[in-house]
Structure 1
């Protein structure tokens, strides 16, 4: 169980809706007066058949049938993350993620782990700023077990007081461990530099000051208010049958708090109004580390922005791989840093674009000077046609190669539905990348890389070391 990592940018807004054919599905549980609605979204030549069922409760089930696989990845995605917390609730979503594995009316914590491990499967979960995911990966023949266990723990957790206290200690240790990882800490410091006190600027885990006094009643209230059927997407990919998955999900949720009266699925999170960001600033976390960790960056674009494909290309060329400009200049040519890369983070109504580097403290000034110079150069002169072609190839290759396992395909289904409300076929996505022009990339670079930059530093420095930075 973990907070989400800082993932590299992958372009992907799921475009306009596609033709689908509908079919009814037998209802169960308390929602007996309405019917489930099933559509076939695609028969992707690079994958399998994708189907989507909306249950009467508003909960959605998406599957991708891939007969060549012998495994299935099954995930329950909830449109709730750390940005949905108030200040005193900071860390509640992550706290709840831990607690849901501690036991239900049907199973103890040991039962939950033992039943899945007995068939060689694996379970885990993670919390991000905008959603939480619980997932299992099992052999295809063990999918009914995985569905029953995962639905049980998400829908019907007990949140026993003793378990709250046990997991409080675990989470406080996780926070302390995170504080001992300056390479992770600097990303949180940078988010605070850009977003300030906005929920996007807070730690996903919360802090010792918010987690320590958090009560079971507060967590229980967050659970029952936020974990509702219209906010939940269930996704599965692998050797499966869609109708069977839907039937098993309905059976597993029958009689639970997620078996509710008919409702419409929740709309995806809106992108207006845009999140207000702070003026460019410098934040320093003094720490006696052997390596300085630094992020230089600015507000980026949200995930619905039509320029996201151009941004993916720009990111790849600037700092997205070993052939990138920053890697070649700072590591290969000068040997100033072991790790240097750029990345983009995108949310419904906000985004970040940044460069990370880890280097010896004595080399930090030079690394920052070279980074700023490269950003200015790209903003002024743009990228070449050959560089844009390479960046497009990297975007397409990384996306397709990332779909080579059931877990990534399951995630693609859920994110398409949860974050965008639709699913684009792989070929259409690749065409969107192919359509990016040199002018589009360079226009974006000129605008984005000319923005005032914030700086976050973790290492043996103090704030005064970066006056005027």
Structure 2
């Protein structure tokens, strides 16, 4: 199956001057990672994977819910939905039909600090993917009629999140930790803000924030960097040009939190199982200690051999699910422990979690745990990069979140360099910080002080 799809003709290359291309990496099987900064600030990164027949394209915009004022909370996510409703030259049905005709997949997601539109296709259909995604990002109509129909969809998504306690507790924890700030608010927004967004709000957000210096195009799979550049130049057309430079790397200067915004948060609901998130402020994503923190996280709650899983699930049988996780943003982050258990077991589960974290803070990890944690992270990383979508995503996050591309072997070497002393130091700092607790279950506010 090949071609450019239904009703779509790949545009001819436009003779726009191309910036200097950097060769970022070459691996032992012939894969290449290349980066070009085009006039106007648009960046293009590709990773060639000779052993595959497909390609995944992503168009990233460096804007997310963290950038929104309270009045426009949820506008980035709303806009992500709205862009699929049609462009100046294609209806939503024509876009969907063109992608379905070649067996491809097209979707998008919004995060705290970026938005990504992506498509997975056969390599021969890459021109179609570039044409359609670029059209979505640059030529969206954002009509008032489309906004009203999609508003209902977004409200249903919020309701679906609220109906799933395991999802709701994560948004509740962010609010408890970061308070009424952009990092504390849900990517989805809330019912009040979504109902209050007008066409001028959402379209204005699009016009202001979807500017070329904030856009990164990434492609991975059976791709050729020069071909991708030609396709991008043709699809973006006259927008490429001028003296604009890429937007500066987000540093998180607005992350001024030194403790949780409040000690606990509650969604009171009659549930058979209580969902808990206990956590604290973590490390920013540019903090070099993040590798040691990752090893710590893996050993404490990152798998079936982790301390929390073995102590709370295997030895005592108190929970079905328990584990820890790290989240990194620009300038800040979080460390959390999740557990789901019956309401009567909550006090004991929390006691065991706190005791284990205190023990690790005081004593650190054993040599065997550090070695196992490093191995777990290295294996998971390599296995997680087996498909074109994960490679495409890694390129986009490297550019927007870190401002540099680190070859896989370099990341593996940094993990190998983590030792017991580094992990002990990070544990002593993270696990001595003030914690907060988010709970979804059959409780009252007065019960949380006891927990």
Same fold? TM cut 0.5: yes
Distance 1:137 1:355 in 2: 34
Structure 1 residue aligned with 2:402: 420
> Are 1:151 and 2:134 counterparts?
yes
Name 1:310's counterpart in structure 2.
292
Alignment counterpart, residue 77 of structure 1, candidates 52, 60, 82: 60
1:181: Cα distance to partner?
0.7
4+ runs of 1 displaced by more than 6 Å?
none
Contact 1:319 1:342 in 2 (8 A): yes
Q: Judging changes above 3 Å, is the alpha-carbon distance between structure 1 residues 271 and 203 closer, same or farther for their aligned structure 2 residues?
A: closer
Q: How does 1:236-247 map to 2 (within 5 A)?
A: 236-247=219-230
Secondary structure at 2:102's aligned position in 1?
Answer: coil
| 2:285 is equivalent to residue 300 of structure 1 | no
Q: Distance in 2 between matches of 1:53 and 1:146?
A: 19
Q: Deviations over 1:68-105 (max 9, x none)?
A: 11000000011000010000000000000000001011
State the alpha-carbon separation in 1 of the partners of residues 43 and 18 from structure 2: 13
Q: Deviations over 1:327-372 (max 9, x none)?
A: 1111111111111110010001110001000111111111111111
**Distance in 2 separating the partners of 1:156 and 1:374:** 53
| 1:383 is aligned to 2:349 | no
The CA deviation at 1:272 is 3.2
SS at structure 2 position matched to 1:295: strand
What is the aligned partner in structure 1 of residue 5 from structure 2?
none
The answer to whether the Cα contact below 8 Å between 1:280 and 1:298 also exists between their aligned partners in 2 is no
Matches of 1:293 and 1:226 in 2, distance apart? 36
The reply on whether 1:349 has 2:360 as its aligned counterpart is no
Match of 1:457 in 2: 439
Name the residue aligned to 1:395: 377
Q: Distance in 2 between matches of 1:263 and 1:384?
A: 51
For 1:48, which of 31, 35, 43 is the aligned residue?
Answer: 31
Report what 1:431 is aligned to: 413
Aligned to 2:320, the other structure's residue is in SS state strand
> How big is the shift at 1:42?
1.0
Q: Map Cα deviations across residues 104-124 of structure 1 (whole Å, 9 max, x no partner).
A: 112110111111111010011
The CA distance in 2 between the partners of 1:441 and 1:393, in whole Å, is 15
Q: Aligned ranges for residues 220-299 of structure 1 at < 5 Å?
A: 220-255=203-238, 258-259=239-240, 261-272=242-253, 274-276=255-257, 277-279=259-261, 281-299=263-281
Partner Cα distance (2:422, 2:229) in 1: 43
Unaligned runs of 5+ in 2: 1-11
Note the C-alpha offset of 1:382: 1.2
- 1:17-166 equivalence runs, <5 A: 28=14, 35-45=18-28, 48-166=31-149
Question: Partners in 1 of 2:398 and 2:272 — Cα distance?
Answer: 41
**CA-CA distance at 1:280 after TM superposition:** 5.1
- Mapped contact 2:179–2:261 kept (Cα < 8 A): no
CA drift at 1:273:
5.3
Aligned equivalents of 1:318 and 1:189: distance in 2?
23
Aligned length: 439
Q: After TM superposition, give the deviation of residue 27 of structure 1 in Å.
A: 9.0
User: TM-score, normalized by length of structure 2?
Assistant: 0.95
- Equivalent pair of 2:343/2:441 in contact (CA under 8 Å): yes
Q: Deviations over 1:195-232 (max 9, x none)?
A: 00110000100111000011011111100100000101
In the other structure, the counterpart of 1:13 is none
Contact 2:274 2:341 in 1 (8 A): yes
> Is 2:370 the counterpart of 1:374?
no
Kept in 1, the 8 Å contact 2:42–2:240? The answer is no
- SS at structure 1 position matched to 2:46: strand
Write the distance in 1 (CA, Å) between the matches of 2:41 and 2:80: 22
Superposition deviation, residue 468 in structure 1 = 4.8
> Residue by residue, what CA displacement relative to the aligned partner does 1:363-404 show, whole Å, maximum 9, x if unpaired?
111111111111111111111000000000011111111110
